């Protein structure tokens, strides 16, 4: 059985130009022959966990996944039981309910501000940068934040709501450079603590709050709303409520900027490995799901795709993370470091091959 699985695996990889024991940077070195059984049984979960456990290696994981995605081999994992189980769960329950929403903060965003500060650029923007004219990650971060502020046509004195404010990167930037007042909300206690410290005396207020808890008193209170890299945690069951809440908080003449990773297909669950180890209870929207959710609340003025920029951003994050590998290995363990590398480089390849998109949307509210 084991020999047959290995032959089948080698044949499938060959269709993507990947060899086991080959000399190319995208080829695999297999250290444990049980790898094949684990992957065929568990799909992406088995592939990721076996890498974390040191069962296989590859000099350039991003190139390995680039070929894997281009050949469509990742789709085979959707037939394995972990993916099917997640799909069933999403149909029966609301994985992103108010009670469950903070789980991703505890398991991802709260793992250590020191790690994120070292990996991200100086602005601590945990979403794609804009690389059109940027020479490095810092410039790409600044270009992204400037682009958002300019699309929103921020003017001094405006009041802005940042849904999913993270460490307050946009809030600090907009308040200091565009003289606006920003209220930010996050579910991460670690992000909140550092964000409040970094914002200092700026006209910024950051709060530990779920977007669904926005009080009715905030109706039409904000001139602008921004949400960068948070919508991935909203979930399909909650999309309509998200846009309804944003519409209620936005002035009639206001604008909203939404940045989210997007899926090419309408599904209700995420990749099993990502679900277990990186972003629990996450979900990537499709164009159809976004359109249905916005209907009656917003209309797009602009809808762009920055997938290529996210590829470059993730590669820059990986370079920063790898520079501190010894430190992170001591603090978090070797298995964590391999997990994090797998996350960053597989994600970079997903954007490179357009397996994933990252949409930048400027939205206008529709009349109530």
Query: Going residue by residue through the chain (368 aa), what tens digit of pLDDT does each one get?
Result: 567 899 999 999 999 999 999 999 999 999 999 999 999 999 999 999 999 999 999 999 999 999 999 999 998 877 787 888 888 888 888 999 999 999 999 999 999 999 999 999 999 999 999 999 999 999 999 999 999 999 999 999 999 999 999 999 999 999 999 999 999 999 999 999 999 999 999 999 999 999 999 776 566 799 999 999 999 999 999 999 999 999 999 999 999 999 999 999 999 889 999 999 999 999 999 999 999 999 999 999 999 999 999 999 999 999 999 999 999 999 999 999 999 999 999 999 999 999 999 999 999 999 97
Of the candidates 183, 297, 313, the one whose C-alpha atom is nearest the C-alpha of residue 240 is 297
Nearest CA-CA partner of 63 in 354, 353, 356? 353
Between the alpha carbon of residue 299 and those of residues 134, 245, 296, 302, the distances in Å are: 31, 15, 8, 9
* Residue-level pLDDT at 282: 96
- Cβ atoms of 206 and 165 within 8 Å: the answer is yes
pLDDT attached to residue 75 = 86
pTM of the complete model: 0.96
At 2 the pLDDT is 66
């Amino acid at each position: 059985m084991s020999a047959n699985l290995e032959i089948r695996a080698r044949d499938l990889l060959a269709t993507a130009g990947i060899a086991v024991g080959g000399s190319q940077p995208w080829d695999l070195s297999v250290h444990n022959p049980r790898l094949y059984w684990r992957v065929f049984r568990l799909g992406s979960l088995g592939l990721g966990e076996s890498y974390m456990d040191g069962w296989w290696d590859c000099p350039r994981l991003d190139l390995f996944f680039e070929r894997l995605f281009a050949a469509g081999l990742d789709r085979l994992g959707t037939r394995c039981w972990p993916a099917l189980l997640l799909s069933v769960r999403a149909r029966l329950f609301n994985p992103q309910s108010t009670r469950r929403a903070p789980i991703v903060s505890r398991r991802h965003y709260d793992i250590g501000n020191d790690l994120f500060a070292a990996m991200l650029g100086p602005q601590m923007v945990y979403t794609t940068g804009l690389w059109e004219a940027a020479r490095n990650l810092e410039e790409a971060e600044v270009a992204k934040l400037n682009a958002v502020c300019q699309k929103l046509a921020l003017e001094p004195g405006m009041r802005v709501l940042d849904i999913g404010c993270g460490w307050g990167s946009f809030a600090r930037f907009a308040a200091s450079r565009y003289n606006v007042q920003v209220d930010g909300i996050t579910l991460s206690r670690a992000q909140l603590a550092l964000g409040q410290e970094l914002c200092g005396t700026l006209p910024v207020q950051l709060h530990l709050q779920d977007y669904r808890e926005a009080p009715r008193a905030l109706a039409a209170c904000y001139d602008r709303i921004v949400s960068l890299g948070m919508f991935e945690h909203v979930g399909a069951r909650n999309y309509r409520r998200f846009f309804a809440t944003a519409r209620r908080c936005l002035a009639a003449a206001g604008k909203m900027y939404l940045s989210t990773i997007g899926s090419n297909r309408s599904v209700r669950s995420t990749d099993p490995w990502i679900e277990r180890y990186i972003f629990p209870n996450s979900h990537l929207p499709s164009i159809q799901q976004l359109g249905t959710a916005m209907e009656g609340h917003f209309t797009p003025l602009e809808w762009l795709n920055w997938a290529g920029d996210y590829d470059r951003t993730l590669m820059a994050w990986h370079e920063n993370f790898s520079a501190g590998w010894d430190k992170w290995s001591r603090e978090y363990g070797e298995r964590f470091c391999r997990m994090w590398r797998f996350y960053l480089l597989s994600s970079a390849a997903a954007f490179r091959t357009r397996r994933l998109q990252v949409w930048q949307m400027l939205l206008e509210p529709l009349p109530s």
